[in-house]
Amino acid sequence: MDGVLQTMVDEKIGPGERKKEFLKQIAEFIGRKDGIALRSYPDVLTASLIAAGISEGDKVIVSVLSPKIYLEVFRKMGIEAVIVDTDEHGLLSTDDAAKHLDGASAVLYFEPVSQIPQSSEDIKALGLPVIEDITQSIGSYFGDKDTDGYFRAGMAGDIVVAALEEDGVISTGGGAVAVASKQEYLEKLRKFAALTAPYTDLPDMNAALGIVQLSKIDALLQRRNEIYRMYQQSQLKSESRLFGSASPLFTSNGYGFSVIVKARPDDSIAFANSHSVSCRRTFSDSIGYKYQDKYDRFPNAIAAITRAISFPLYPFLSKSDLESVQRVISHIS
Dihedrals φ, ψ of 310, to 5°?
-120, 150
Among the candidates 215, 232, 252, a domain finishes at 215
Indicate the residue type of 54. I
Indicate the residue type of 58. D
Report how many domains make up the chain.
2
| Residue 276 structural domain | 217-331
pLDDT tens-place values along the chain, 333 residues long: 565 555 554 555 555 789 999 999 999 999 999 999 999 999 999 999 999 999 999 999 999 999 999 999 999 999 999 999 999 999 999 999 999 999 999 999 999 999 999 999 999 999 999 999 999 999 999 999 878 889 999 999 999 999 999 999 999 999 999 999 999 999 999 999 999 999 999 999 899 999 999 999 999 999 999 999 999 999 999 999 999 999 999 999 999 999 999 989 999 999 999 999 999 999 999 999 999 999 999 999 999 999 999 999 999 999 999 999 999 999 998
* Cα–Cα distance for residue pair 224/82, rounded to 1 Å: 34
* Cα–Cα distance for residue pair 26/318, rounded to 1 Å: 29
Is residue 247 located within the same domain as residue 312? yes
Among the candidates 215, 243, 264, a domain finishes at 215
Is residue 150 located within the same domain as residue 232? no
Is residue 120 located within the same domain as residue 15? yes
Is residue 232 located within the same domain as residue 168? no
* Cα–Cα distance for residue pair 122/3, rounded to 1 Å: 42
Is residue 90 located within the same domain as residue 225? no
Report whether 203 contacts 174 (CB < 8 A). Answer: no
CATH number of 45's domain? 3.40.640.10
Is residue 244 located within the same domain as residue 171? no
Residues 6+ away with beta carbon under 8 Å from 294: 302
Is residue 195 located within the same domain as residue 261? no
Is residue 197 located within the same domain as residue 253? no
pTM: 0.94
Helix, strand, coil shares of the chain as percentages rounded to 5? Answer: 40, 20, 45
Among the candidates 172, 192, 215, a domain finishes at 215
Alpha-carbon distances of 34 from 7, 111, 158, rounded to whole Å: 23, 21, 12
Is residue 202 located within the same domain as residue 273? no
CATH number of 274's domain? 3.90.1150.10
Is residue 131 located within the same domain as residue 261? no
Q: Residue 165 — left, alpha, or beta (φ > 0 → left; ψ -120 to 50 → alpha)?
A: beta
Is residue 123 located within the same domain as residue 254? no
Check whether the bond before 198 is cis (ω within 30° of 0). Answer: yes
Is residue 149 located within the same domain as residue 125? yes
